[in-house]
Amino acid sequence: APESLMQALEDLDYLAALDNDGNLSEFGIIMSEFPLDPQLSKSLLASCEFECVDEMLTIAAMVTAPNCFLHAPPGTEEIALTCWRRFSHPAGDHFTLINIFNAFKEASASSTNQESSTEKWCRDYFLSCPALRMAGIIRAELVEIMKRIELPVSQPDFGSKENALNIKKALLSGYFMHIARDVDGSGNYLMLTHRQVAQLHPFSSYYNTRRIPEWVLFHEFSISEDNSIRVVSEISPDLFAELVPQYYFSNLPPSESKDILQEVINHLSPVSATKEGQK
């Protein structure tokens, strides 16, 4: 549909992938080297700046591969949740996916009879072995592309506070259009762009926990799955304000969330101005 095409072009423009004539910018050309969604390509490129490439490669592979969580057979849902919680990361689902991928790699490496014991490990944790293998293949392909176009691949630093912040910065660089706010403290998330209310997907590590973050960045929104947002990580309004393109923010429809963020931006801008003056 023409509306979808216009929206896609607008999104590319917000991501700095187009030049003033509507052609791919230099940045857009580099983004197009990756067989990924534009937002994901942008986040991956941003990870070079924020020195979290290793982690972002894993996230990109995991969200591009099929869903790694198996639907638990009736009566085993609680067991599955307990298994998945072992991989939960307080920073959010993107980080949980890194934990899962790393654990899968470890299980694969330590298997004597690789095929069957890796599959058993996956079954034990209600995870999809084919999906995780596919993530490994995708990740290897992305690494090859990074090398071919001579982009730096930073060393793994997963687990440090600085690294967690850098991952969020890289994610926000691409997914600033995928932000939602819990408007009532009970997990009803209002998205900044669509003004639509969504709930956390049951596979989210925040689902059915007491800790429901107010502001989140999400990978995708699914109408077919009960208006849910999938792969969700907590972000702070300050971080959003720091990284959101002003042009995009000013075009957002009016909302209470936008007003809150505007206050944060106003609060941060004198600091930015001072920094500019010091340069």
Predicted local confidence at residue 161, as pLDDT: 93
Instruction: Give strand pairing partners of 198.
Output: 189
Instruction: Return the structure tokens found at 265.
Output: 């931006």
Dihedral (CA of 164, 111, 134, 202) sign: negative
More confident residue, 210 or 186: 186
Q: Check whether 277 has a pLDDT greater than 70.
A: no
Are 94 and 37 in contact by the 8 Å Cβ rule? The answer is no
Reported as a single tens digit per residue, the pLDDT across 136-154 is 999 999 999 999 999 998 8
Residue range 1-56, pLDDT digits in tens: 678 888 899 999 999 999 999 999 999 999 999 999 999 999 999 999 999 999 99
Model pTM greater than 0.85? yes
Per-residue confidence (pLDDT) for residue 112, from 0 to 100: 64
Report pLDDT for 111: 67
d(CA 204, CA 142): 25
Q: Which of 90, 106, 129 is nearest to 212 (CA)?
A: 90
* Per-residue three-class SS string for 220-243: EEECCCCCEEEEEEECCHHHHHHH
Q: Which two tokens stand for residue 213?
A: 């973050």
Q: Give the end-to-end CA distance of the chain in Å, rounded to a whole number.
A: 47
> In degrees to the nearest 10, what's the CA dihedral of 274, 192, 17, 228?
140
Q: Pick from 196, 182, 198: which is nearest to 235 by CA?
A: 182
- Three-state secondary-structure class, residue 217: strand
- Which residue has better confidence, 60 or 251? 60
- For residue 23, what pLDDT is reported? 93
Q: Is the dihedral of CA 87, 216, 13, 222 positive or negative?
A: positive
pLDDT band at 195 (very low <50, low <70, confident <90, very high): confident
Give residue 113's pLDDT band: very low, low, confident or very high (50, 70, 90): low
Q: Using an 8 Å Cβ cutoff, are 15 and 31 in contact?
A: yes
